[in-house]
Structure 1
Amino acid sequence: MKDVGLWTIFKVVLNHSHLCCPDQVEMLKQHRELSMFVRRTIKTHEEAGIRPSKTYQSFVATADSHRELGFIEKDVMNYITRELNLEGDHYIKHAFWADVRSRAAFDYFGNVVSFDNTYNTNRYNLVLGSFVGMNHHGQSTLLGCALMKNEDIQSFKWLFECWLRCMRGKAPKGILTDQCASIQRAIELWMPTTIHRWCIWHIMKKIPSKLNGYKGHNEIEQDMSHVVWNSNTKEAFDRNWIDLF
């Protein structure tokens, strides 16, 4: 017996005390089950970024009715949360995306490409890498992007292979990247004919930390920035750089 205030409970019957509706008995929890085929399909859809609700509706459409499935949408969600997420780092590693518009833009503006991997997502700790070109209006145009779990040579080899395959195997004449040894090695392996240069923005960003210990470093930074950004030709840069020192 338990007194809960307004009511006093004498007895609790946890089993069903009434007959179940015959046409709904299969939807009770103890009767619902995900087959191996359904589990594989859910995992494939999850890796492709398809929402669980869309995955469930595809099963319904195939079976003509949700009553013919033997499971409900909540079972799909529970399987993703309980089973697939247990795979952790081995489950979500890399994802690459490029569309027809990106491929068409590369055909016109793919001579020199910038690859940037300095963005990092907070929730899943995935690195965002983007291939960017410049169109005839001087505007940036996206040529492909990826989410990566690791930034080692194998990861970049995988990414460049996917990107080149999407661009019909045509490598750019030049590529600009951060000062990353893994990226450099992957480019040497997959784009050996491409001229690789470090991005000037990343170089200039590191100058304050490199010169911070020197007297008059603010003036040096300003003079270096002037030489870098206002030298319109190679000859002008070489002349101004020599004059600087």
Structure 2
Amino acid sequence: MAKLVVLKPYEYKYIVQTFREEHNHEMKTQDKVHLLRSHRKVTESTKVYNAHLSKVNIPVHQQVSLLEVLAGGLENIGFLRKDMYNYQRDMREEVTGHDAELLKELFLLEQEKNESFYFKMEVDSEGRMGNVFWADGRSRRAYGFFGDVVVFDTTFNTNRYGMVFAPLLGVNNHRQTILFACAFLTSETTESFVWLFEQFKKAMPCGAPKMIITDQDAAMAKAIAASLPTTFHRYCIWHIMNKFTEKPGIRKSFSELCNCIWDMDSKEEFDAKWDEVITKKWSERPSVA
């Protein structure tokens, strides 16, 4: 019903021919104005706020709740929760297809700030990102002090890209876990592991570690034998103990096995206790008629 008709009969003259001020809906009250699309906008300062909080994994609904408390109410924020979700969706769409380039730019920027930062990215024939390896200066220096023993595990996968996250860890003199290097691998094959170990040797000042501890992955064992021939390879005790519990009938003797592994002070004590546990377990097996 609202209508405004303006005519321009002359070059510098306008005439209002028709004006109807009746509206076909009631005007919004002041406490409802923030719900209008024309009045909602995610400001630049809010976008920066969102970027910082997203880095520490604070979800959007909590970010909006914090803003609501700081502004004194939802009507004072200037947008709705769905506007923030839409903003994040738009940002993800901008990154899609360019995330590999952005990652490389980030690595190059780190390298400009610190020459000791090392990274390597593989690219296939179609220009898609392959295996990625990186290690910063602090990690490389830590390896020089505490790199005798390295723990290597690939039990983590990225949700969006399906790549394998492969951290190489150690322990310092305070028994704290330290990170030597990281990698994203496209697959858990011997070739991928060999590539990773070769990059690790290039990045670290002392070369190959004296010992590496892994799970019981066959491809990983082959890669270690090929790329780290002078490194002692040992299996992780956590994986070994998990294998014990999968065997039928082991649960009854599991506590004895744990005592044998953890409470013995010498090789002789361990061998004697191990023989005792195994002999006892064998004698308890049901006889076959």
Give the C-alpha shift of residue 218 in structure 1: 2.1
Identity percentage over the alignment? 39
Runs of 5+ consecutive residues of structure 2 not aligned to the other structure: 3-97, 110-125, 279-289
The secondary structure found in structure 1 opposite 2:159 is coil
Give the TM-score, by structure 2 length.
Answer: 0.53
Answer yes or no: is 1:197 the counterpart of 2:230: no
Answer yes or no: is 1:45 the counterpart of 2:78: no
Residue-pair matches, total: 167
Q: 1:167 to 1:148 in 2, by over 3 A?
A: same
Q: Which has the higher contact order (CA 8 A, sep 6+)?
A: 1
1:130-141 equivalence runs, <5 A: 130-141=167-178
Give the TM-score, by structure 1 length.
Answer: 0.62
Give the C-alpha shift of residue 44 in structure 1: 6.9
Give the C-alpha shift of residue 229 in structure 1: 2.1
Give the C-alpha shift of residue 50 in structure 1: 4.1
CA distance in 1: counterparts of 2:167 and 2:254, whole angstroms = 29
Answer yes or no: is 1:122 the counterpart of 2:159: yes
Q: Contact conserved, 1:47 with 1:92, CA < 8 A, in 2? A: no
The secondary structure found in structure 1 opposite 2:178 is strand
The secondary structure found in structure 2 opposite 1:122 is coil
CA distance in 1: counterparts of 2:264 and 2:105, whole angstroms = 46
Q: Residue in 2 aligned with 1:234? A: 267
> Which of 103, 106, 117 is 2:140 aligned to?
103
Residue by residue, what CA displacement relative to the aligned partner does 1:179-210 show, whole Å, maximum 9, x if unpaired?
Answer: 1111111111111111111111111112111x
Q: Residue in 1 aligned with 2:22? A: none
Runs of 5+ consecutive residues of structure 1 not aligned to the other structure: 1-5, 7-41, 55-86
Q: 1:49 to 1:205 in 2, by over 3 A?
A: farther
What is the root-mean-square deviation in Å for CA atoms of aligned residues? 2.6
Residue by residue, what CA displacement relative to the aligned partner does 1:193-242 show, whole Å, maximum 9, x if unpaired?
Answer: 11111111111112111x23x2xx32212221221222233222212111
The runs of at least 4 consecutive aligned structure 1 residues that moved more than 4 Å come to none
The secondary structure found in structure 2 opposite 1:193 is coil
> Which of 92, 102, 113 is 2:129 aligned to?
92
The secondary structure found in structure 1 opposite 2:170 is strand
Q: Contact conserved, 1:116 with 1:178, CA < 8 A, in 2? A: yes
Q: Contact conserved, 2:144 with 2:205, CA < 8 A, in 1? A: no
Q: Contact conserved, 2:100 with 2:129, CA < 8 A, in 1? A: no
CA distance in 1: counterparts of 2:143 and 2:129, whole angstroms = 28
Give the C-alpha shift of residue 96 in structure 1: 1.0
Residue by residue, what CA displacement relative to the aligned partner does 1:160-183 show, whole Å, maximum 9, x if unpaired?
Answer: 011110003611111111111111
CA distance in 1: counterparts of 2:208 and 2:145, whole angstroms = 13
1:69-80 equivalence runs, <5 A: none
CA distance in 2: counterparts of 1:109 and 1:46, whole angstroms = 32
The secondary structure found in structure 1 opposite 2:230 is coil
Q: Residue in 1 aligned with 2:193? A: 156
Residue by residue, what CA displacement relative to the aligned partner does 1:134-172 show, whole Å, maximum 9, x if unpaired?
Answer: 111111111111111101011001100111100036111
Query: Which of 1 and 2 has greater Rg?
Result: 2
